[in-house]
Amino acid sequence: MPSDLEQLVDMGFEAERAQLAVSNTGGLQGALEWLESNQDNSLEEIKAASAAQTAAAGADPDEPPALKPGEEARSLVCNDCGKRFRSQAQAEFHASKTEHVDFSESTEEIAPLTEAEKEAKLEELRVKLAEKRQKKAELDKADAKRNEEIRRKSTKETQDMKEQLVKKEQLKEAAKKRREKQEEIEVKARIRAKIEADKEERRRKAEKEKAAREGRAPPPEPAATQPPPPSAPRPASAYTESRLRLQTPAGNVIKTFPVETTLFEVAAAVGQEIGAEVQSFTQNFPRKVFDAEYFGETLKDLGLVPSASLNVQ
């Protein structure tokens, strides 16, 4: 016939927990009650309580409080709660759990459990153990779901930031194309003006040569037009873009950003291009380090307009 410990292990209880149950109670019936009352306690908590109880009693902490050989069968009654116990060990364990200290002996003997009662008790413990495991599985599932939601949210925020950067790049590219088109128009206008000036110069030269052949006075020179005065330098507030020369470990990168772009967005764009996270920017003249503390400020606020040279770190 299998021992009490083997029966408990066969029912699915942990071997160490079952050993503690048998050692602390001395039999299958007490072990079942012990397992039921300690199902929510971890092994570490149970061992700590047992060690404290043994130390307080001045006994060897490695010796479990089993029934003593020849101990007379009797019951003990807890006068604080009225619960009866079959052995001294059970009463001591109850005292350690509840801090009840008023016990008295009783001549009434607690009848042992019948086989049917034992089976019912075991089934009850199995059900409670299954419920506990099911509850733990549900908690683990909820934790996994919550962690997945956090991961998805983080991924979505990263994706949104990338989309915003793409939109800003598209706007910047459109502004660049408009600027290039305007510059092309201005270049064509200057070329046409140069052609007209050359034609006028050739015409005057031909008239001078004709007048010289005919012995006439040359035609008067047209009044020289005064060049327009140089325009005053544009203030920083008049610029809409900033041209940055970025010295990275992979080489120089030249990028143009709207002046309202934050340094964080610049760091994200550069980091995406070089494949590494940007920690700070350093300006040599004047010497200044823009670390994460400045990432929330715009290029305009930091004075990096209309252009700047930065070392990327």
Residue where a domain stops, chosen among 112, 141, 160: 112
Over residues 64-89, the mean pLDDT reads 64
Q: Following DSSP, what letter does each residue of 220-239 receive, concatenated?
A: PPPPPPPPPPPPPPPPGGG-
Residue where a domain stops, chosen among 112, 129, 153: 112
pTM: 0.30
The parent domain of residue 104 ranges over 4-112
Task: Judge whether 252 and 312 are in contact, CB under 8 Å.
Answer: no
For 255, the token pair is: 């990028």
Question: What pLDDT, on a 0 to 100 scale, did the predictor assign at position 26?
Answer: 66
Look at residue 160 and tell me if it is in a domain: no
Q: How far apart are CA 82 and CA 246, in angstroms?
A: 82
Which segment of 46-50, 137-141, 162-166 scores lowest on mean pLDDT? Answer: 46-50
Look at residue 136 and tell me if it is in a domain: no
Sign of CA dihedral 156, 161, 162, 163: positive
CB within 8 Å of 48: residues ≥ 6 apart: none
SS3 23: helix
Look at residue 170 and tell me if it is in a domain: no
> Number of structural domains, the chain?
2
Which segment of 227-236, 249-258, 264-273 scores lowest on mean pLDDT? Answer: 227-236
Task: Judge whether 128 and 36 are in contact, CB under 8 Å.
Answer: yes
